[in-house]
């Protein structure tokens, strides 16, 4: 436990660090990657360039510091991040590297204002926060490796089938190279893929939600090609689409993530997705039909039009069950879409529509999609009085704030 004086120093300096938050963490990454370029094999370079990861890490360290005398209170957040760390392969030996460079960066940016006493207090605080992560992650590593069909780190999977689902989304069916069993997962969870790309100095790790139900002898992921307009094309998604062929090997870590379907409940479920955000919802929908066929499910998917609308036939098949209703929203339908009635509603999902069509009073809501989509859904649900414990969502990138 920290001394009271140390706790006071930390809490009183949090606002100063918050003010310089991004400057400090930008400097931190420069210093750390300068001394440890091997860490570029783990970190997402595009997130770095867009400053997204900077915000996530800075925000969490300061939030944690405010709770330094009661870290239990932020355990759910620690667990969420720990899932991602475990999936990426972050190990205890990485923590002192981050700690050392964070303190160096604080000293660098604050100059004389960062007295030895302040730096010492933050060193102690960081170690406590790091210990909390390390112990949660140790349990997760243990579970990932020892469960039935589980494994440690990255395991080779063969691309058994590659299926084009729309103009921009392709599914990959992955089977283990060793032909042994694979760990089960909870619908909503993701795997990480570590990609070695010819000509690239570093490996690139990305997460992909599992888009089929558990209990198969494969994992399915469905990947959207991220085409950059002004920016470079997405590295891994384009490589998967263009270069990875059936029979190729991919390195995969065991399923992770705390965005999970609660099948203990029997109340209605509403699954809302925008674009490729439908992947975890597909896993949830399939599972609900398989193991809770009497549960009321509403599947709502928003896409630009049928050209980019993936997995529609699977959803239509599953919607034959009386308890499952599905709705497709297109914001830019083609003439053909209109002629063939390929969508239910033109435009975006609105609060009024939700109020009219779904069980706002008792349903659990799961959603995923582009951040503006997620903000709009979150706002609508809050306006309709849905409490936080019935709102569940996943970011397909560093976690952010939907209330901003």
Ligand X SMILES: Cc1cc2nc3c(=O)[nH]c(=O)nc-3n(C[C@H](O)[C@H](O)[C@H](O)COP(=O)(O)OP(=O)(O)OC[C@H]3O[C@@H](n4cnc5c(N)ncnc54)[C@H](O)[C@@H]3O)c2cc1C
Which of ligand X, ligand HEM, none lies near 43, with the C-beta cut-off 5 to 8 A by kind?
A: ligand HEM
- Supply the minimum distance, in Å, between the C-beta of residue 91 and ligand HEM: 8
Query: Is there a contact between 381 and 354 (Cβ–Cβ < 8 Å)?
Result: yes
State yes or no: is 137 an active-site residue: yes
Which of ligand X, ligand HEM, none lies near 306, with the C-beta cut-off 5 to 8 A by kind?
A: none
- Name every residue whose Cβ is closer than 8 Å to that of residue 34 and which is 6 or more positions away in sequence: none
Which of ligand HEM, ligand X, none lies near 338, with the C-beta cut-off 5 to 8 A by kind?
A: none
Q: In what order do the strands lie in the sheet with 324-330?
A: 345-346, 324-330, 297-303, 269-274, 364-368, 391-394
- Supply the minimum distance, in Å, between the C-beta of residue 122 and ligand X: 29
- Supply the minimum distance, in Å, between the C-beta of residue 205 and ligand X: 9
Q: What is the rounded distance in angstroms from the CA atom of residue 382 to the CA atom of residue 359?
A: 14
Q: What is the rounded distance in angstroms from the CA atom of residue 48 to the CA atom of residue 385?
A: 37
Closest CA to 238 of 272, 274, 212, 200: 200
Q: Which residues contact ligand X by CB under 6 A? A: 44, 46, 49-50, 190, 206-209, 221-224, 226, 228, 231-238, 257, 276, 279, 394, 396-397
Name the burial class of residue 153, with classes exposed (0-12), middle (13-18) and buried (19+) by CB atoms within 10 angstroms of its CB: middle
Q: Between 86 and 301, whose beta carbon lies closer to ligand HEM?
A: 86
State yes or no: is 239 an active-site residue: no
- Supply the minimum distance, in Å, between the C-beta of residue 188 and ligand X: 9
Identify the active-site residue in 29, 126, 137, 208. 137
Q: Which residues contact ligand HEM by CB under 6 A? A: 39, 42-44, 47, 53, 56-57, 60-61, 81, 84-85, 88, 90, 94-95, 97-98, 129-130, 133, 398-399
**Residue nearest to ligand X according to CB distances in the complex:** 234
Query: Is there a contact between 275 and 223 (Cβ–Cβ < 8 Å)?
Result: no
Q: In what order do the strands lie in the sheet with 249-253?
A: 204-209, 190-195, 249-253, 154-164, 169-176, 219-224
Q: Between 60 and 207, whose beta carbon lies closer to ligand X?
A: 207
Q: Between 14 and 88, whose beta carbon lies closer to ligand X?
A: 88
Identify the active-site residue in 29, 95, 126, 366. 95
Q: What is the rounded distance in angstroms from the CA atom of residue 393 to the CA atom of residue 390?
A: 10
Token pair for 172: 């990959």
Annotated catalytic residues are 95, 137
């Amino acid at each position: 436990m920290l001394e009271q004086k140390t706790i006071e120093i930390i809490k009183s300096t949090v606002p100063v660090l918050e003010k310089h938050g991004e400057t400090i963490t930008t400097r931190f990454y420069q210093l750390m990657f300068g001394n440890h370029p091997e860490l570029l094999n783990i970190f997402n370079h595009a997130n770095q360039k867009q400053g997204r990861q900077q915000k996530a890490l800075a925000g969490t360290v300061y939030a944690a510091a405010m709770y330094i005398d009661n870290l239990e209170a932020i355990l759910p957040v620690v667990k969420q991040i720990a899932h991602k760390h475990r999936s990426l392969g972050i190990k205890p030996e990485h923590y002192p590297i981050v700690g050392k460079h964070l303190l160096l960066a604080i000293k660098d940016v604050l100059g004389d204002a960062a007295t030895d006493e302040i730096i010492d207090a933050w060193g102690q605080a960081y170690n406590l926060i790091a210990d909390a992560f390390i112990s949660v992650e140790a349990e997760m590593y243990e579970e990932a490796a020892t469960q039935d069909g589980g494994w440690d780190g990255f395991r080779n999977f063969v691309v058994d089938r590659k299926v084009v689902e729309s103009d921009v989304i392709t599914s990959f069916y992955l089977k283990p190279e060793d032909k042994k069993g694979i760990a089960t997962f909870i619908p909503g969870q993701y795997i990480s893929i570590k990609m070695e790309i010819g000509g690239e100095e570093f490996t690139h790790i990305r997460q992909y939600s599992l888009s089929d139900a558990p209990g198969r002898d494969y994992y399915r992921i469905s990947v959207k090609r991220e085409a950059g307009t002004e920016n470079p094309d997405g590295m891994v998604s384009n490589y998967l689409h263009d270069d990875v062929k059936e029979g190729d090997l991919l390195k995969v870590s065991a399923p992770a993530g705390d965005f999970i379907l609660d099948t203990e409940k029997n109340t209605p479920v509403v699954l809302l997705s925008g674009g490729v955000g439908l992947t975890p919802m597909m896993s949830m929908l399939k599972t609900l039909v398989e193991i809770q066929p009497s549960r009321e499910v509403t599947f709502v998917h928003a896409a630009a039009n049928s050209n980019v609308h993936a997995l529609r036939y699977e959803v239509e098949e599953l919607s034959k069950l009386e308890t499952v209703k599905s709705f497709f929203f297109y914001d830019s339908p083609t003439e053909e879409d209109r002629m063939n009635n390929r969508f239910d509603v033109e435009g975006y999902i609105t609060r009024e529509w939700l109020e009219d069509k779904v069980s706002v009073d008792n349903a659990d809501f799961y959603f995923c999609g582009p951040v503006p989509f997620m903000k709009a859904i979150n706002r609508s649900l809050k306006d309709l009085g849905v409490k936080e414990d019935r709102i569940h969502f996943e970011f397909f990138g560093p976690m952010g704030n939907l209330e901003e």
